[in-house]
Structure 1
Amino acid sequence: MDAEKSFFQQKTKCELLIEGDKCSKFFHNLMKKKTASNGIPFFVTDQGNLTQSLEDIVKEFIHYFTQLFGCTVPIQQLDWSVFFEGPCLATMDATHLTKEVEIQEVREALYSIGNNKSPGPNGYTAAFFKEIWNIAGQTLFEAVSEFFRSGKLLKQFNHVIVVLIPKVKDNPGVKDFRPIACSNVVYKIIAKILSNRTSSVLPGLINHSQAAFVKGRNMVDNIQLAQHNVRDDIMMFSRGDHNSVQVLVDDLKHFSVVSGLHVNAQKSNLVNFPQGRLPVKYLGLPLTSQRATNTNFVPLVDIVDANIRRWNTKTLSLAGRSELIRIVIQGIEGFWLQAFPIHKSVLNRIIFLCRSFLWGNKVYKVAWDDICKPKDEGGLGIRNSFVWNQALLTKNLWNIASNKETLWVQWVHAVYLQGGSVWTWIPKKGDSHLFKKLAKVRDKFLHNIGDAYDDMEETMSNLWEEDGGNTAKLYDILRVHGVKQPWMKIIWQSYIPPRYTVTAWMALRKRLPTKVNLSFVDMDRKCSL
């Protein structure tokens, strides 16, 4: 049974139910859906014709990706003097990047790779190498260190399996498939080591206008800034006049000539680019010139609904369903909650979907507020979305107070605070909805911790030093605390299967459909035995 579970877990890439369910039927059903979605039964040619012939599909894809990956594009010689005009690596950082790799570095890189990540052409996953580390660890280390010594990579290590993922649902063409490369583990280890080394030096080299993909920065900062810039009609890449647009186009052409990367300008309306209208999606979130409405959050509700529809409640226990809500659904929520004060009606809709999924569209046996309590207070540890939204927004207050070096924080200080403190700032009538909401969250936070405004910088500084800016601590401060339940420590044990733990949890809450608990129903209460 364990071997079967492991097999289906690898095939479905489902790692989230390790602590929730151990049923292979769920994985089997999920694998069937995944297999069906991964197939390419048809595609639309450039001429607009629908093709279902397997032979034509293969030829078209091979032709397109051979041109994409297999052709050399002439590029101009780089002007290296330009690079020395910007920030440069310190000698110590350069030494760190080029130092010899150590066996512990290889081991840490290996163990940071997920066990069920898709394998490369040799078919071995990271889990295999972790299991045999004591036997083959030294050999693996020598293979990796050889690359760092010689600068050459064995051709077999560099082979990949290219998987095509459709980017659109309806009538996809060849260009609408995203190629994903599945690499061998040795290649992944080398890439991890290079990534870990460069991540420590990138913050000093890349301008703070770049908010994402740099350690210690958050793309939500730019999303929040973009919301205000669009509202003030100043989010421009150029002035919009003919000369400015021409400069923008010339820059893109120059970048293409130097890098060999070309801009995709299909379905053009204006200067060979599509003409867009607000609201649009920016970094995965809605960007609008007005205050966000329920319509702007429809994509969030749709994503949650689509994920829930993928999971069959009949093949999952209550424990498994609660884990999916806690990890997957609330993980999706978190990205949106840290950027916007989400409307109450939107969060209520998401809660309705989660609650219906948790109870299998049957009678709700435990109140949602009780479910959202921590386990030691008698709940299932699922977060209250309203409080979680406030906690994630509160973290922005600390970023502003500490004058974090991001473009958004600098803009807030220049436009709103103007030398004042975020802890005493009073919103005005014309201020944005986000900042008015931040002020309300701030006041609630101050009330809960009970400190004077004058001591806030020191208080928040101590809080962040102790907890590393952990939003879980902020959530704990903002939520309503309940009574500790001593019996919870007994049932929530790692050696007890989760589905049995949840059954015991239901029993202790007197929510199992026993005759005693169904006393309000007209039935014989005598024990059947």
Structure 2
Amino acid sequence: MEAIPRNLAILKSILSNFALLSGLHINDSKCLFVPVAIPDASLPGIAQVLQCAPKQMPVTYLGLPLTIRKPKKIHFKPLLDAFQRKLEGWQTKFLSLGGRLTLVKTVLTALPLHYMQVIKLPNWLVKQLDGMRRSFFWKGREKCLGGHCLVNWAKCCLPRKCGGLGILNLIIQNQALLMKWLWKLKLEPNSTWTSSVQLLYGTTDIAALSDETRVSLAFKDILSFKDFFIASTSCVGGSQQLAWKWTPIGLYSSASAYAILADPGLRSPYHTLLWKMKIPPKVKVFLWVALLDRVLTQHNLLLRNWPTISSCKCCSHGIIETTSHLFVQCEYAVQVWTLLQARFSLPLLTFLPDLHLFWLQNRALPGQSWDIVWAATTWAIWKERNRRIFTDKSLPSNLLMAEICAAIEAWLTSV
């Protein structure tokens, strides 16, 4: 409001009358007013009328930093503190990769959404938030080295159908949330938002507004997405009614915008099969890493310059332990697969020299029963490999098969 005596008196009268009618009480000690471009000499008079103290920008409004200038790092400290509190409160040592993935997607990724609806997050902040999400997912702590991350973060943030984990990309999600203001500008002509844009800039035509227009920093960030927005909308039947191309009913949604912006066009050959399996989340994440050949076999450890032996611990031939060898070609693995083939009456298996080809090529006939047998066996072979390395103990193939059958039964009955 304009800081003139009449307006101040009217505002104070409205608040006082509301308090009398509702039976509430105004606590003046908790009230404040924020002067914008007002001389310091006028502040005592305003404070006397409103009976509250002045506070210079920036201030916190509805949990967000309110400022007439570009937000500084200190303004985002509450968000970083919220991340820190969450990370410190979790017993990360007892969480599997599947459990951490769930917390990353449902808790950590949700924390900045309130900010992202109205503010374009600066690159340094996105980098810091991604660093904390990445470190928690791979190592369960605030920071970790790049060598601890088995798969790069960009791959993890791809949609599942494109071979990723489906973790939200904060930059793209920020864009999708901010574009809703462009939609409101077109679809809600009587809203306060539209009236404010019309009053400030003389038009609500998105095409007529540009980054060069003398607009606020926040609105300039929103306008930076206008080309994609215009290309994604069309008029219905030659009328002025706007329709969003990426939803069946023609209404804008942040989810549909994100789905289009985050889709690189590539498709994973096994995304649907893997994530729909009725198996524990930690096994799904492990299989995802294994199918990308990123599990820490002896071969991959050597590539990372970690001191280790190169030969496979599950066989006696001294062959280097690669993903394909460990799960498909190792003599121990072949024994286990052969026993399971007889146990579940599977067709003759084709031992292709690649884990995902071995899985997909052999599922032609048995279908879903083969999927869960393949998942349980791959997981059991990995645990047996670790048992031999870290405890110097081993199970014969027939006992491992019994362990696999028990796991399959437990998974099926728990769903």
Alpha-carbon distance in structure 2 between the residues aligned to 1:339 and 1:393 = 6
Question: What corresponds to 1:225 in structure 2?
Answer: none
Shift of 1:326: 1.3
Alignment check: 8 A CA contact 2:157 2:164 kept: yes
Alignment check: 8 A CA contact 1:321 1:358 kept: yes
Alpha-carbon distance in structure 2 between the residues aligned to 1:404 and 1:465 = 23
Alignment check: 8 A CA contact 2:243 2:251 kept: no
**Structure-1-length-normalised TM-score:** 0.50
Alpha-carbon distance in structure 1 between the residues aligned to 2:10 and 2:106 = 46
Alignment check: 8 A CA contact 1:371 1:380 kept: yes
* Cα distance, 1:244–1:324 mapped onto 2, change above 3 Å: same
Alignment check: 8 A CA contact 1:267 1:274 kept: no
**Matched residue SS, 2:55:** coil
**Matched residue SS, 1:526:** coil
Question: What corresponds to 2:258 in structure 1?
Answer: 475
Alpha-carbon distance in structure 1 between the residues aligned to 2:7 and 2:85 = 43
In the alignment, does 2:90 pair up with 1:311? yes
Shift of 1:261: 0.9
**Matched residue SS, 1:286:** strand
What residue ranges of structure 2 are gaps of 5+ in the alignment?
33-46, 315-415
> 5 Å matches for 1:196-207?
none
The structure 1 residue matched to 2:72, chosen from 293, 301, 310, is: 293
In the alignment, does 2:201 pair up with 1:437? no
The structure 1 residue matched to 2:17, chosen from 236, 254, 269, is: 254
Question: What per-residue deviation string (whole Å, max 9, x for no partner) do you get for residues 180-239 of structure 1?
Answer: xxxxxxxxxxxxxxxxxxxxxxxxxxxxxxxxxxxxxxxxxxxxxxxxxxxxxxxx3x63
The one-letter code sitting in structure 1 at the alignment partner of 2:224 is K
**Matched residue SS, 2:65:** strand
The structure 1 residue matched to 2:116, chosen from 314, 337, 359, is: 337
Shift of 1:429: 4.8
**Higher RCO (C-alpha 8 Å, min separation 6):** 1
The structure 2 residue matched to 1:393, chosen from 170, 178, 192, is: 178
> 5 Å matches for 1:389-428?
389-418=174-203, 421-428=205-212
Shift of 1:515: 1.5
Alignment check: 8 A CA contact 1:374 1:382 kept: yes
Alignment check: 8 A CA contact 1:266 1:273 kept: yes
Shift of 1:370: 0.4
In the alignment, does 2:257 pair up with 1:493? no
Question: What corresponds to 1:266 in structure 2?
Answer: 29
Alpha-carbon distance in structure 2 between the residues aligned to 1:386 and 1:268 = 36
Question: What corresponds to 1:484 in structure 2?
Answer: 267
Shift of 1:305: 2.3
Alpha-carbon distance in structure 2 between the residues aligned to 1:328 and 1:355 = 13
Shift of 1:456: 12
> 5 Å matches for 1:297-376?
297-360=76-139, 361=141, 362=144, 363-376=148-161
Alpha-carbon distance in structure 2 between the residues aligned to 1:456 and 1:527 = 69
Alignment check: 8 A CA contact 2:289 2:295 kept: yes
Alignment check: 8 A CA contact 1:372 1:384 kept: yes
The one-letter code sitting in structure 2 at the alignment partner of 1:501 is K
> 5 Å matches for 1:65-214?
none
Alignment check: 8 A CA contact 1:398 1:460 kept: no
Alignment check: 8 A CA contact 1:376 1:488 kept: yes
* Cα distance, 1:405–1:303 mapped onto 2, change above 3 Å: farther
What residue ranges of structure 1 are gaps of 5+ in the alignment?
1-235
In the alignment, does 2:56 pair up with 1:277? yes
* Cα distance, 1:423–1:244 mapped onto 2, change above 3 Å: closer
Alpha-carbon distance in structure 1 between the residues aligned to 2:251 and 2:227 = 22
Shift of 1:318: 1.4
**Matched residue SS, 1:430:** coil
**Matched residue SS, 1:266:** helix
Alignment check: 8 A CA contact 2:177 2:254 kept: yes
* Cα distance, 1:480–1:450 mapped onto 2, change above 3 Å: farther
Alignment check: 8 A CA contact 1:417 1:425 kept: no
* Cα distance, 1:291–1:481 mapped onto 2, change above 3 Å: same
Alpha-carbon distance in structure 2 between the residues aligned to 1:458 and 1:481 = 30
Question: What per-residue deviation string (whole Å, max 9, x for no partner) do you get for residues 2-47 of structure 1?
Answer: xxxxxxxxxxxxxxxxxxxxxxxxxxxxxxxxxxxxxxxxxxxxxx
Shift of 1:372: 0.4
Question: What corresponds to 1:125 in structure 2?
Answer: none
Alpha-carbon distance in structure 1 between the residues aligned to 2:239 and 2:200 = 22
Alpha-carbon distance in structure 1 between the residues aligned to 2:208 and 2:168 = 29
Alpha-carbon distance in structure 2 between the residues aligned to 1:509 and 1:472 = 27
Alignment check: 8 A CA contact 2:162 2:268 kept: yes
* Cα distance, 1:367–1:498 mapped onto 2, change above 3 Å: same
Alignment check: 8 A CA contact 2:234 2:244 kept: no
Shift of 1:488: 2.1
**Structure-2-length-normalised TM-score:** 0.62
Aligned length: 288
Alpha-carbon distance in structure 2 between the residues aligned to 1:478 and 1:316 = 32
**Matched residue SS, 1:281:** strand
Shift of 1:291: 2.4
